[in-house]
Amino acid sequence: MSVLTYDTLIIGAGPGGYVAAIRLGQLGIKTLVVDKDKALGGVCLNWGCIPSKSLIQMAKTYEKTLTGTEKMGIKVSGATFDWAKTQEWKNGIVDSLTSGIAQLLKGNGVDHRFGTATLTSSTTADFVEKSGEKLTIQFKNCIIATGSSPVQIPGFTFDKKFVVDSTDLLELKEVPKSLVLIGGGVIGLELGTVYAKLGTKLTVVEMMDQVLPGTSKDVAQLVERKLKRNKADIFVSAKAKSWKQVGKEAELTFEVGGKDQIVAGEMIAVAVGRRPNSKGFGGENIGIKLTDRGFIEVNDKLQTSVPNIYAIGDVVGQPMLAHKASKEGEIAAENIAGHKYSTKDIQVIPGVIFCDPEVGIAGLTEDEAKKQGKKIKVGKFPYGALGRAKSTGDIEGFARIVADAETERVLGVEIVGTNASDMISEAALAIEMGATLDDIQLTVHPHPTLGEIMMETAKAAKGEAVHILNPKS
C-alpha cells in the first residue's frame, strides 16, 4: 500500500477545509485536502449557498419583470422562464467557482484528492480514492472539516421523489405545481420563496410559533406577509405527523391547534435543520471527544481532545455558516503554523437570510438583550423613509439597532429589506470594534443609498432622527 506523507491532512474541502488549506499553503505548510465528494467547495458551493442564491436571484428577477416595473412605466407581457436554462446557468456558476478553488489550491502548493479518509491513529489515516486505490496518509497535524447533513425526521425518509431534502430542491428537473415544506427556517424559506415566485403553490408547516425562529417577530411577520402575497399557506405551531402517497401526490397530515389537517403536494420537502458529520472519519478510533449534542469538542484554538487534531465549521457547533467555517479554518491553520495569538476571539458572526425581503442579523436582538437583563436603547428606521428605497420601489423593511443604554455601545442590529445581506457587514464591523451609536451616526454616509439606514437608525436610537419623527419624551 502506497504511503503519502504530509505535514497537515484536511478532511473535508468545504468553505472551512479549502480555506484552511489555502492559508496553510500561504504559510509554507505541506498540505493535503481530501473530500469524499468529487467536488471542491463542499455543500455550500455545490449544493447550498451558491446554487440556492443563484435560483433566488433568478426568481427575484422573474418576479420583478412581471410585476415590479409597471409603476416606473415599463410594461412587460408574455414573460416566461426556461427552467432547464436556469439550471444550466446555475451549474455553470458552481463549476466556475469549483475550478477556481482548484487553481487556488494549486497556486498555493496544496494537493487535493477525492475519496474517503479514516483516521487510524493521531498521525495516520487510511484513504480510499474514488478510483478504489487504497493509500496510507501520514501526517503531523489534521483538520476535521466534515460539515453537516440534513436532518431526517421519523417517518419522512428521503426517497428523492415524494420526500426530498434541500439539496434535491436545487436539482429539480421541473418547477413543481405544488410543494409542501416542513420547516419554516432559513433553508426552507429561502428555497420555498424561489418556487412560490415561480408559481408553485407553497404550503409551509413550521413547528415553532413563527417562521424564521430566532428573528424578531416583526421581521418574521414581514417575510410571512410577502410569502402570502405569493399565495403561500403558512401554518405555525404545527407538527408534521405522517404522509402517504395519493396518486401522483404526497399527502401530509399535520397537527395544528390540537386538530389534524391534511395538505397535498407534488412533493414534501423537509428542511428542519442540519446535524454535524462528527462520525465516520475515525474520530472514535483515537478518542476525539464529542459534546452532548454530537459536535466535536474544541478549544479556542480549534484543537480537539487530541491536540494535533483540529476541527472547524459545522462539525464543531452553531452557527452552521460558511463564513464561520472559513474564519475557523484560518485560525486552525495559523495555529498549526505556530502563530501564538490566533484564537477564536470573535465578537459576532453575522447571519443572512436570502428570503424576500432579505434579512441580516448581527449580535443581539432586542428580545435577547432584554432576556439577558441589559438596559438598552433601541432605534428603528423604515426603508420607506429612504430616498434610495423610494427610487427603486423597494420600500418594504426596516433596520433596528440595539445599544447599551449607558455606554451606547452597539449590541446588535437587524435589517430586513432589499440588500440587507450586503449592509449587515457594517453592523458586524461596528460590534467587532466596540463602536457606539455616535461612531455610526457621526459617520457621513453617502446619499442617496440604502446604506444610510445604519446612520439613520443610530440617530433614531439617540432620539435625533431627522427623516422620521422622534418619539416625544
- Judged by phi (left if over 0) then psi (alpha if -120 to 50, else beta), residue 170 lies in alpha
Q: How far apart are CA 51 and CA 56, in angstroms?
A: 9
Question: Where along the chain do the CATH 3.30.390.30 domains lie?
Answer: 351-461
C-alpha cell at 187: 433553508
pTM of this structure: 0.93
Shortest CA distance to 37 belongs to which of 143, 145, 110? 145
> What's the confidence (pLDDT) of residue 473?
64
pLDDT in tens for each of the 473 residues of the chain? 699 999 999 999 999 999 999 999 999 999 999 999 878 998 888 888 899 999 999 999 999 888 877 778 888 888 899 999 999 999 999 999 999 999 999 999 999 999 999 999 999 999 999 888 999 999 999 999 999 999 889 999 999 999 999 899 999 999 999 999 999 999 999 999 999 999 999 999 999 999 999 999 999 999 999 999 999 999 999 999 999 999 999 999 999 999 999 999 999 999 998 999 999 899 998 999 999 999 999 999 999 999 999 999 999 999 999 999 999 999 999 999 999 888 888 999 999 999 999 999 999 999 999 999 999 999 999 999 999 999 998 999 999 999 999 999 999 999 999 999 999 999 999 999 999 999 999 999 999 999 999 999 999 999 999 999 988 76
State the residue for C-alpha cell 435543520: 273
CATH code, residues 163-272: 3.50.50.60
Find the catalytic residue in 112, 339, 447, 467.
447
Question: Where along the chain do the CATH 3.50.50.60 domains lie?
Answer: 2-149+275-336, 163-272
CATH code, residues 351-461: 3.30.390.30
447 given a catalytic annotation: yes
Cβ contacts of residue 90 below 8 Å, gap of 6+? 51, 54, 55, 58, 170
Class of domain 2-149+275-336: alpha beta
Q: Determine contact, residues 413/400, Cβ cutoff 8 Å.
A: yes
